[in-house]
Amino acid sequence: MHELSFHETTFEKCLKCNACTVSCPISNTTLDFGGPKHLGPELKRMMDHQEVIDDSRIELCTLCGTCDTSCPENVHVSTLTSYAKAIHAKEKGTKFRDIVLSNAELVGKLASTFAPITNMTMKIKPVRKVMQMVLGIHADRQFPSYEFSNFKRRYNKKHATTERKVAYFTGCYATYNAPDVAGSFIKVMEYNGIDVAIPEQKCCGVPMFANGQMKQGLKNAQFNTNSLLEYTRQGYDIVMTCTSCTSAFKKEYASYLKTEEAKELARHIYDADEYLRILNEEGELNTNFATINAKVGYYAPCHMKGQGIGNPAMDILELIPGFEIQDMAAGCCGQCGTFGFKEEKYPYSLELGKTMATAVEELDADYTVTECGMCKNQLDQLTNKQVKHPMQILKSAYEKVPVNS
């Protein structure tokens, strides 16, 4: 585990070329942010072997990882900014609100237990005004709804018996907010003759890293690594339906934990669409889809784009007859996980989301498809199109096939 003054050498390759700042969604929206170059490699260069510097401008970094993708020298900029966040949280303390927001899992557990009440309460204006005053969560920010019948109550198989075995890391969003996504994934796997097990798991840690809660985040990372390795070592593939969780396991765990175990696990992590694409390439995918006549817009989450996997959601959805899907090439959604809930970040969040909202309006498709629950939250608030997860579409494409065909 890193200390706050951890040693990291990739930043030495930084040529200060500005590619990260030029590409950074926040830097392109506001001059209030110091930018990834300055708060990443430059700050690190200044601190190395010297005193730790707390720079409050780091609060505006959303850890979207676009800086990492843009760097021609392979500097892990977001690793540096995540530690700048941890330093800031340690020096300045963490707001009660940020502790709450970073504990997406705990919030999910509580909120789904009292789901009908939570969902209703979150829509009452005076309550939200009080929440803004007391907690600093913006009153106008729509919340995703919670479901009492969360995924844990619906499905809890611990072992798979088929030849191809999948262990599903559900993640907080599909567990508490969108159990239908999780359920659809299980169904899609079923149509492909693959048994799915649900390993013991905790929140992937992304909201914690984003709020400077590095210690707690790394604790979760360690827990998940131990738990999931037990599965991969028995021949399971780890599949996820949330691209931020996937990105954490593929990228962050390995570069934060810096252990052989984290690297070993990372090799077995697949995004759900990426996994289906592999099945297709190996001739194992059930391609008996019913026709779905729809014109659909695809919105690519930042954490998907950073994985270097092309566009697996579109690759798979294009296999459905009649299905017309177009990438909107729309930049960052601006919700950025917990960022868009915060009172003082809300105006930035809306500004960031403008290009996305315009792209959705211009395309004027039947509905929007995205893998990310948080992008969906912003899409729900800023556009009037319905938003679906690829797994929900695939499930209905399988289900609509006439029984005797």
Binding site for other proteins (CB under 8 A): 17-19, 21-23, 27-28, 31-35, 38, 57, 68-74, 249-251, 254, 266-267, 269, 305-311, 314-315, 326-329
- How far is residue 41's CA from residue 33's CA, in Å, rounded to a whole number? 15
Closest distance to other proteins from the beta carbon of 296 (Å) = 13
Inter-CA distances, 327 with 100, 300, 301, 334, 369, Å: 34, 8, 11, 18, 9
**H or E segment to which residue 350 belongs:** helix 346-363
Residue number with CB closer to other proteins (104 or 314): 314
Residue closer to other proteins by CB (options 204, 328) is 328
Give the other-Cβ count within 10 Å of 110's Cβ: 14
The least CB distance from residue 72 to other proteins, in Å, is 3
End-to-end CA distance of the chain: 55
Instruction: Name the residue nearer to other proteins (CB basis): 32 or 48.
Output: 32
Give the Cα separation of 170 and 201 in Å (integer).
8
Q: How far is the CB of 141 from other proteins (least distance, A)?
A: 24
Shorter beta-carbon distance to other proteins: residue 183 or 334: 334
Distance CA 153, CA 244 (A): 23
Identify which of residues 101 and 352 has a Cβ nearer to other proteins in the complex.
352
* Coil vs helix vs strand at 269: strand
Q: How far is the CB of 182 from other proteins (least distance, A)?
A: 23
CB of 316 to other proteins, least distance (A): 12
Shortest distance, CB of residue 326 to other proteins, whole angstroms?
7
Nearer to other proteins, 36 or 183 (CB): 36
Distance CA 377, CA 381 (A): 6
Beta bridge pairs of residue 168: 239
Burial pattern 383-399, b for ≥16 Cβ within 10 A else e, equals bebebbbbbbbbbbbbe
